[in-house]
Structure 1
Amino acid sequence: MGQSVSDLPSRLLRNLTAWRNAKAWRVAFSGGLDSTVLLHLLAHLAKHHSLPALSAIHIHHGLQAAADAWPAHCQSVCDALGVPLHVMRVTVQPGASLERAAREARYAAFASLTEAGDLFLTGQHRDDQAETLLFRLMRGAGVRGLSAMPAQRPLGQGVLLRPLLDVTRTELEAYARAHQLRWIEDPSNEDRQFSRNYLRHQVLPLLTARWPQAQASMARSAAHLREAQGLLDELAQLDLAQAVTPSEFSWLGLPSLELAPLTNLSAARQRNALSHWLEPLTRLPDTDHWSGWNDLCGAASDASPVWRLADGELHRSAGRVWWLSGGWLRAPAVSVEWPDPSTPLRLANNGRVMFSGQTPVGPLRIGYRQGGELMHLAGRGHRDLKRLLNERAVPGFVRGRLPLLFRGTELLAVANLPGLDGQGPDGWKLHWQPTDEDQGLR
């Protein structure tokens, strides 16, 4: 790279210029080489520059006995630098990939600690970027995955920044030796069973022996791919603008898209637009799983197809696709009494209902459609509820959880549906607030 260890502080400060007015700088501090150098650099920069409040966060996964000593080591380093340390224990969920499960637990903890106006800093460097690119290449990743690690992205209520992505591990080691820093060597980093370790110890040394600039070249390729992904994101936004149309059921509070503008696009543009829309909602499907989208679009017009994804479901109904997650995937209780209609009634797995206007005389209960219900309408007599829902094009997934107001066996009202939700403009109306949850946003 042709730059010396003495350049590191100025290079780091340059990468942090845009964040000098952040509320706080929080550093992910494992105690390893990368985060030790990053924390040391920041602590010493803070002595000579006006910087935001600096603190460190150590995540204790509890996956190996050696890790029990690491919080004490991290505390001693932070005490010497005058940096406050927060140690947080996390539970790693068992699964096929321990690497991935530990990472997800770690970043969930980071997100929970990152407040509005905070900058969260991690120590990944250029060698890590090359590993990430190779790792994702071996998994058959697309443009988004091969973009590798972005220099910054949203995290919690703040922003995650990786300010050392243009620095090599060799430079970090040289800095650590020059300043006589002590760091933890995680024994698991030598375990070649882990894919990243295999790449680090077996593959990358062979590549750099043949092509000394291999890691710099891979980092440059990742940057090109990030630019390409940016163009694909712009195209997705243009395509989605045609599909993000108003719905008469916007009160459901669910993300939805009009289907026709999407199906008019080429298959590749459909996947690109939908991936962009789904990305904040769920882990994206792999290539093989995209057949679920084709099945959803190709199902018969009178069908209600569902595409199940990692963190929720995509439903097709009423000419739109709808994203359902959380409480929407849990069945509501069959029936519940409403002893005091003057106060809102909370429904299990289904939000709450309330009245406006004079409440009807009881005893009242809230139930759900079982089939065969009839409702008396002024001037129309008794009408089948299924037909009434069809007339209003109520999405199929809503029908089984629309709160129905009964007095005895008499169906008095269907929440939120004009003409069915109460007794005239001067009477009462039944209102349903479907959920109190944030709809699936990760």
Structure 2
Amino acid sequence: MDKKQVAAVLEEIAALLELQGENPFKSRAYLTAARAIEGAEQEPLDLVEAGALRNLKGIGEALAEKIAELVRTGRMRYHEEQKAKFPPGLLGLLRIPGLGPKKVKAVYERLGVGTVADLEAACRAGKVAHLEGFGPKTQENILKGIERLQTHAGRFLLSEALPAALDLRAALASHPAVRQVELAGSLRRRRETVKDIDLIASASDPAALMRAFTAHPLVAEVLAQGPTKASVRLKTGIQADLRVVADAEFPFALHHFTGSAEHNVALRNRAGARGLKMNEYGLFEGDTPLPCRDEAAIFERLGLAYIPPELREDLGEIEAAERGAIPVLVEEGDLTGTFHCHTSWSDGLSSLEEMAAAARQMGYAYLGIADHSEAARYAGGLSRRQVAEQHAAIDRLNAGFRGFRLLKG
């Protein structure tokens, strides 16, 4: 199991303990352990094999044993025991924006709500508004949260989907049969949420590439497999699709399956106005294909500057490309610092010194420190005296820096 999977189980245990009304420090211990696992430089299995779990902040002997069991077997008996105490659908309520464990516990115990559907029915019947600590406004907000949840059901955050997508692309790119391979779809356009992972490739042996794709360690289930297309479901739950096309078709297939649909329609209309036909197989003048070595050549054939995938939404990018006015997009290398970082002074995992060293290694010019204050004692919030001590420590560190500065928050 990777870091995210282990952390997700620990976070779920914390929520289950809170639903039971357990001591807050007990559930917080699991949250602290989840953050420690996610922030560790080594993978969980490496930590287990090296006996190094207890070196992480907040992980004692008993918790280390539970995590080791989870990493080695894919299951944790304690986790399953806690899950068995509640209806299977109850944890799904925690995905509703603004609904935390305390409120979920209340609707479960007082109204017998065990699923999102149960909660929606209770809200529409006006039952939730009459519960102590809720009221009409809370009931209205819960219904809005359920609506948002249903709207985005089956979608994944970009930050969740991208690491797996990059792993798949890297594995395919290293295969001896592959000629070209690239991510496509809304993930390539860097949308905030995505429904699935799309990959486009050209290969000398499509069947061999398909076998490598469906046998990848991230794959949990093969949904469909043909000579030029395969669909799988990854262990994280997201679907991934691979299409293999001819080399000459690759730029056109990449553009088409990157989307968006609205952008594609607008570009096809532009091609049609010039007496051309465009689809995922190519650009044609009559029946004659017009070769394009890459996407930039496609846009050039249509009298346009190259349009980055992030702008392909039919929101004026084609008109801007026609004028040569495509904006320069912000790249990771443009970032010079970041704000609102926690350290081990409160609930962070690393010290001021370690945070500063990492930021400087990334080429940053500044790093904003914003640990919890005494208002958040549950997260190790700093007292006024500790804030003053931390600021003095920041001043001492800054005195030794050149071209870099820690900022106090």
- Please classify the TM superposition score into its range, dividing by the shorter chain length: under 0.3
The structure whose residues are more often helix, as a share, is 2
Q: Give the number of the structure whose alpha-carbon radius of gyration is greater.
A: 1
The structure whose residues are more often strand, as a share, is 1
State the TM-score, normalized to the length of structure 1. Answer: 0.24
Structure scoring higher RCO (CA < 8 A, sep ≥ 6) equals 1
State the TM-score, normalized to the length of structure 2. Answer: 0.25
